[in-house]
Structure 1
């Protein structure tokens, strides 16, 4: 007898697609990231964002995907945030412990969590 499709509950072995896990796994693999394109994109976002929009629009038309495949942009931007926050703490903070707390809170709360909340609410 052929298997039939059940309209009831899904089986317990079915798991959601591991998109986030796959994305997080790529963060550690530097050879898979397109660092040169990331820096090009960052530079042109500051100087001529229209060019970046045109390239992103072309990427959407060819690959049917708005997002980048690699997390290089977030990794590089996070490193820039850490460097800027460390420079701020070196100039204005008195204790090393408070400087570490400030860097961690800026990176995780102000950058990542606020970005996730804002992106989700705008979506």
Structure 2
């Protein structure tokens, strides 16, 4: 099985490190890390990851705007929103914009690990 590649996008270094460790434990390769939406858009085109974890509250370009631009760039982009913002309207906006899931911080590490393992097992990319 081909190793899946992840782009981790979060303005907090601690959160990127935490997500990276969980993803690597599940067998993912960390293809890149970005600290804002503008970096994420450039990196996405360069590395073409299998999945993106995307924070909502970030400088320069927030996660919702980044999500919308990613989906415009690549309608098949697989994006999981990971944010401390636990508001139903934001969640609905992200899902409507194309996010495949929404995980609230502080997240349960076991749940995130399970998500990565399930995503690794399912190859929905053509």
**The TM-score by the shorter chain falls in which range?**
under 0.3
TM-score, scaled to structure 1: 0.27
TM-score, scaled to structure 2: 0.26
Structure having the larger proportion of residues in strand: 2
